[in-house]
Amino acid sequence: MTTPTILAVARSGGHSFSKDPCDEIHLLAGLGVEGDAHSGKTVQHLSRVKKDPTQPNLRQVHLIHAELIDELQAAGFVVGPGVMGENITTRGIDLLGLPAGARLRLGDTAEIELAGLRNPCVQLDRYEDGLMAATLEKDESGNLIRKAGVMAIVLEGGIVRPGDLIRIALPPEPHRPMEPV
C-alpha cells in the first residue's frame, strides 16, 4: 500500500481551466490557495458568482488523485497534474471514498476539510473531447460516480509541497458520503 502523499501542487491567478504546477503553494485559512483565482471566503467560480456571490466558498482547494490521471492517460488522454484545474494532486489515498468532513493534514501545518465532490463540467470536453465522460461512470445500481476529484476548505494554513505526506482524520460516525458542491 502506498503512503498517502502529495504528488504535485498548482495554482492559477486567472480563471483558466488548467493550473500551473509549482514548487509549493501557501494555503490560507478560510480562503484557499494564495494567488489562486478561486481563493476567497465567498464563491469565486464564475458560474457560482453569477448565481449568488454571497455563498460560502466550499471550493477553496481542489484535489485530484493521481490514480485518475493514470487511468485517463492509459485511455489516451493528454492530462497531467494541474491540467484539470486541481490545486493538489495526491497519490495513495482514496479521495472519493472519504466521507464529507474528513480532514487531511498536508505537510507540517496545513489542514483542510473535505466539503464535497467536484461536479465534472463541459470545460473538460473543451480541453479534450470525451474527457468529461471519462470522469463519470455508473455503479452496479446505476448511480452516477463523479471521479473528477474533491473540493475542500482550509482550516489551518501552511506551505504544501510535492512529497509532503497526507494524514487523514475521519469525522465522527455516522459518516455521510460526499455530494457535489
* pLDDT tens-digit series, residues 110-160: 999 999 999 888 899 999 999 999 999 999 999 999 999 999 999 999 999
The CATH number of whichever domain residue 155 belongs to comes to: 2.40.33.20
Owning domain of residue 145:
5-166
CA distances to 13, 140, 145 from 158, in Å: 19, 40, 32
Q: Does the residue 174 lie in any domain?
A: no
Q: What is the pLDDT of residue 121?
A: 85
Q: Does the residue 87 lie in any domain?
A: yes
Q: How many domains does the chain have?
A: 1
Task: Give tens-digit pLDDT for 76-94.
Answer: 999 999 999 999 999 999 9
Q: What is the pLDDT of residue 1?
A: 66
Question: Is the per-residue pLDDT at 104 higher than 80?
Answer: yes
Q: β-pairing, 103-106 with 110-117?
A: antiparallel
Q: How many CB atoms lie within 10 A of CB 159?
A: 17
Question: Is the per-residue pLDDT at 65 higher than 70?
Answer: yes
Q: Does the residue 179 lie in any domain?
A: no
